[in-house]
Amino acid sequence: MAAQDWEFEDDMTIEDGDFKIIESDQQHIQHIVQTKKGQYYEFPTLGAGADDLLNSSISKQRINQIITESLVQDDYVVKDIFITTDGDNTTIEIDAKRRR
């Protein structure tokens, strides 16, 4: 069975009087990539800090490596990471699945 969690957007989504539950692997991946190390109290080494990485001078290859290490730490297998830049917008697309 796929991992499930509350749906997080700008705020919690309410559906039929309760929090909306979704398959959450993509949401977990997004949170891990955005979160900086130290922000998860129980797992202080988890997180990639994508905003800081993208605004640094390190290579895309090293950014991919940092993101992959963070996702592997949370039991994901990463197939591909695509970082694309269009003007001022940078997009990170990740193809990863949780091991099970």
Domain map (residue ranges) of the chain: 4-98
Cβ-defined contacts of 67-73 (< 8 Å, 24+)? 67/33, 67/92, 67/94, 70/32, 70/33, 70/46, 71/29, 71/32, 71/33, 71/96, 73/43, 73/45, 73/46
Compute, in degrees rounded to 10, the torsion defined by CA atoms 30, 66, 70, 85.
10
Predicted pLDDT of residue 31: 87
- pLDDT for 25: 78
Let me know: does 32 contact 46? Beta carbons within 8 Å. yes
For residues 21-48, average pLDDT: 86
The answer to whether the pTM exceeds 0.85 is no
Q: What topology is assigned to 4-98 in CATH?
A: Nuclear Transport Factor 2; Chain: A, (3.10.450)
Tens-place pLDDT, residues 66-80: 999 999 999 999 999
